[in-house]
Amino acid sequence: MTSPQADTRLFMTMPELVPELGPVRLAGAAFAAEGLGPEVLTGNRTQRAAARGELAERLSEISPPGPGIQDPDARAQDDFFGVRRTLSQEPAAVGLAFLIAHLDVLDDAEQSGSCLPEAEWSALFAGAVVLFGEGDTSLGPTPAPGRTSGDRTAALRRWRCGHRLFFVVTQGIVSALSGMARAVSEGDQRTACSALLAAAALSRSAAAALRFTADFPTEAYADTVRPSMMPPGVPPGFSGVQGPDHQVLVELYRRMRPVFAALDPETWPIRAFQDASAEMFAAHMGVCDRFGGREHPSILMEANGHHDARVTATHVLDGLVRSRLALLGTQ
């Protein structure tokens, strides 16, 4: 049976409009007071479905339709993964989309199984909690590890569902780092440290989201998932690096490079953020490796006429990862 949310588009704020962490947390606390916070992740499937319906309704109320992403490659990403962009600048929109994506992942894991250990699920739920305050980060049920379905339809659903989760977590990182940048400029170290720790927790959540996304048999990727990301279904050169939320995050890394470089690790939790970011990038590398990246070029490389067998998808991604880590002050 297909999950009722499998083909539902998720409203997401335009990446350049993501608000800072402070307002996002205040809005999240208000929804949590109504019983629409991270605790919705602890319910059974029926309870989660009811919560998702309420969250989706509330999100649609504050999500005026926008023109969508203008860049054609990034727009193709949104279309493929089931994302609908909104012009909403309401801080609540970030947290609501965050919880909806988490609920969809729980449903998918229950339906198709998951090999993720308890620690990975804990990382996912910790990321959800930090957007709603600074309380208990151990919240959340832990789906029992088990065999992941080899069904091709299930693999494609997981690929899409997991990516949507990664997108909303990425927006969370953007929100946290934007809040940190403002606090640093205002000399508010306490708030800046809190935001930096939130960015670290969210980066670990992003790593777990990527590992969940790839939690299905490799044969299903070759037979179903990869062909779905090639013409005629999508434009040539489909690639994760074209994701609009990822692009905004990388640009934020660039702008904040001098800030990161100036932080004293003795008084700032910069190492925690750097380590968590390295874990996120390593998880991306792991997805690439799992699905043949060490032996083959990426879809983008093939579309660009790449023919050098010595340069694989993993080789190119490794270079990108090194450049990202350099922006964070990590070598």
**What pLDDT, in 10s, does the model give residues 283-312?**
999 999 999 988 888 888 888 887 677 789
The neighbouring-strand residues paired with 65 are: 86
In a domain, 35, yes or no: yes
Examine residue 5 and state whether it is found in any structural domain, yes or no: no
Question: How many domains does one find in the chain?
Answer: 1
Query: Which pLDDT score is estimated for 1?
Result: 35
Say what the pLDDT of residue 141 is.
57
Task: In whole angstroms, give the CA distance from residue 305 to residue 218.
Answer: 25
Across the chain, the runs of DSSP E, i.e. the strands, are 10-13, 83-86
Q: Kindly state whether residue 34 falls inside one of the protein's structural domains.
A: yes
Residue 4 lies in a domain: no
* 3 in a structural domain: no
* C-alpha–C-alpha distance, residues 298 and 237, integer Å: 9
- Both structure tokens of 103: 């609920």
pTM: 0.94
- Which residues of the chain fall below pLDDT 50? 1-7
Q: What is the pLDDT of residue 282?
A: 96
Q: Residue 5's pLDDT is what?
A: 46
**Would you state the pLDDT for residue 7?**
47
Cα 131 to Cα 139: distance, rounded to the nearest angstrom: 13
Give the domain range for residue 221: 10-327
19 found inside a domain: yes
What's the rounded Cα separation, in Å, for the pair 7 and 152?
Answer: 15
Say if 2 falls within a structural domain: no
| 1 within some domain | no
